[in-house]
Amino acid sequence: MRHVFETMGTVASIELPETVTTELDTVREIFTAADQRFSLYAPESELSRIASGTLTLARASSAVRESYERSIQWRIHTSGLFSPNRPDGVIDLNGIVKAEAIERAGAHLDSVGCPSWTINVGGDILVRTDRAPWVTGIADPSDDRSLICSVVLAGSRRAVATSGSAQRGDHIWRGCELGPTHFVQVSVIADDIVTADVLATAIVAGGQEALDDVTGRWPIDVLAIDRGGALMATPGFREAIAA
């Protein structure tokens, strides 16, 4: 059964078997808690207080420090393409908190023995299946109302995240600039949602060079769409494309 609610400035769509609908409240609470803690739009959130200087990172909650540390690790691994530090110095964990919340919500559903579910928050998707694979569409960046393709999520390939400039304008920082990117949309299929999300962001930020680098170092499947609408895909992504 499908459940839809607003959270984190976007919309969550959650598919659960009817027998575990009772878990929906807990799932919802996971997103609400993350949003309250990490949002830079809420003036009283921990991140906002860190940004304004009324709270230091060292005194922040362990949840904030753990997310920050994880972000720093990813910054190192991606040579700075992914970073929790905005050029103006503000710590912005937006790039990872949504994926972490999805991860946590999925772990909760697993922990209560839910065998089959999907979580889609703002277009980033994590699934679990015990039967047929979940077929997932990828939006066409030039047309909200159509799909560029659809892919099969099965086995350990449980996550697909998409980054780009199609929905929110050019929102990905490139170095100190907030400029046009080579790829308008990059989708990454991976075993876990944080890896998928972070690397999709890194490829959008770093362009062709990052695409070649990242696909060489992580076992991920990628579809990248450039400004001219041309598609590039890894062999694994081609195989994942639904018939």
Spatial neighbors of 133 by CB under 8 A, at least 6 apart, are: 152, 153, 154
HSE, CB side, 13 Å, CA atoms: give it for residue 203: 34
Complex with other proteins: residue 61 or 175, whichever CB lies closer: 175
Q: Please name the amino acid found at residue 93.
A: L
Complex with other proteins: residue 64 or 190, whichever CB lies closer: 190
Complex with other proteins: residue 40 or 137, whichever CB lies closer: 137
Report the site for other proteins in 204-233 (rule: CB under 8 A): 209, 211-213, 215-220, 222, 224, 230-233
Secondary structure class of 76 (helix, strand, coil): helix
Q: Does 238 participate in binding other proteins (rule CB under 8 A)?
A: yes
Complex with other proteins: residue 83 or 162, whichever CB lies closer: 162
Report d(CA 19, CA 23) in Å as an integer.
Answer: 9
Give the count of beta carbons closer than 10 Å to the beta carbon of residue 140: 16
What is the size of the binding site for other proteins (CB under 8 A)?
70
Q: Does 106 participate in binding other proteins (rule CB under 8 A)?
A: no
Can you list the positions of beta strands (E) in 101-182?
A: 117-121, 124-128, 134-140, 143-153, 159-164
Task: Please report, as ranges, the residues that interact with other proteins according to CB under 8 A.
Answer: 1-2, 4, 6, 9-11, 13, 15, 76-77, 79, 118, 120, 122-125, 127, 134-139, 141, 144-151, 160-168, 171, 185, 187, 209, 211-213, 215-220, 222, 224, 230-238, 241-243
